[in-house]
Structure 1
Amino acid sequence: MTFDQKPSVKFILIDIEGTTTDIAFVKDVLFPYASDNCKEFLNKLFDEPDVKEIVRDLCKLSEEDGNPIQKSTNKHEFINSIVDNVKNQIKADRKTKELKNLQGKIWKEAFESGAIKGHLYDDVPRNFEKWVNQGFELYIYSSGSVEAQKLLFKYSKYGNMLKYLSGHFDTNVGHKQETQSYKNITKELQAKAEEILFLSDIPNEVIAAEEAGMKVTILDRPNNPLILSQDNRKNFQVVQNFDEIKCN
């Protein structure tokens, strides 16, 4: 089924996990890679200024959590304690800024070396190109850091997709299930909310965006573990891929 969006749309705001990219890529490739390679990364780059800053932030967070990283004059023991903390955060599916910053550094090295290629559904590149040619501005909004977003699209299996993207938002603008976040994005784009179409697979994100005045569509990708309710299907436009969306 094809759904036509009203011509007033000028901006398309796009989620990543479950929307442009298979959730399994994030959970089964990116997260395990960061966990498995954290120790090697820290051993190699521990003394780099930006890595030292990330380590300081992780230590501060661990103290706030009441389970402090064990600092030691023995570099090997200190790194092991950091790695344990990182693995526990990943296992608990935490999305702390401190964890994301370290993951982003590890992934950057992996993408740039070719160890990882960003996954995109095959309908994504052709629709990005089509939408940009039609005059729409495309923006990404993901819980992953802007740096991590750019890596995924720059080093995708289809080549560099950044040329189609006008900008990126992460949780610095607000959490994805909060209406205020979408108001903040609207303000940053200097747009009217109804000029923005938001695409996501998460109903609570779509609800928040709609409450902010945006147009919304839910992606129901095959193999997505999230099951949409009958109310979701009744209250929102639901599509299986980008080919089903018309923006003019």
Structure 2
Amino acid sequence: MTLLILPNSTTVQNPCRIAYDNLLERGAVAASSEDPSYPVANAYDGLTCDFFRPTATGTVTITLTLPMGGTANYFAFYNQDLFKSGGSIGLQYYDGTAWQNATPGVTPSNNAPRIVFFNPVTATQWRVLITCSQQFNLGVVSFGQYLALPYGMYLGWTPPRLGRATKLTTSMSDAGAFLGRRIIGNGIRTALQLQYASDAWMDANWLGFVRHAEQKPWFFAPQVVKRPNDVAFCWTEDEIPPPTHTHYGFMGTTINLRVVVE
């Protein structure tokens, strides 16, 4: 897992971030090359069981055209095999004259979720620029405006990379000797703990996020400075508990998550 913060980004504040807003869901999307059996829509439908795959090699673009300007300050991707061929992926925007880099090209070394944060840019045209010498698969790509939580994760919280959910079945002899064990992996569990969120913050942000979370996964960066390797692609494990007032003028809730980190 790797989370990148560009050197020219604004000072990091509210380092616990949710990246669910995806401009690709709001406009016309076209790929420069596309296998009809693996359409570009697979890259932003939120599913990890399907992929976008081009028919061409070399440089491939996924271009978004919006009816009006859209703002982004993060770029994220997951479930790709570019790393097997030394491929790179980055985000660009059109400034009215030429394409400009919103992020540098990232050359992943594995299939972990990735996020790049950058200073906000508003444009009507965006494109994901991918370079690879082989045909590739891309399962999830997202860019838009991240949501910063008022406070980070504190006591009672499990970092995603440590939250292994396993079921153990132990075999024992009649005398109680250990004969072996079967391990069944059930992914990773953690939680999103929303604490001390003001009424104004909840009114501005909660419903937009929860309506997305009821349907689709999102990227979660619990601590972009102190725990940069704990980027996760996650979804809710069960019902989303509504927030309640924990202090006068402040609300909170805990959402149980299933996550993938590689």
The TM-score normalised by the length of structure 1 is 0.28
Higher alpha-carbon Rg: 2
Higher helix share: 1
Higher relative contact order (CA 8 A, sep 6+): 1
The TM-score normalised by the length of structure 2 is 0.27
Higher strand share: 2
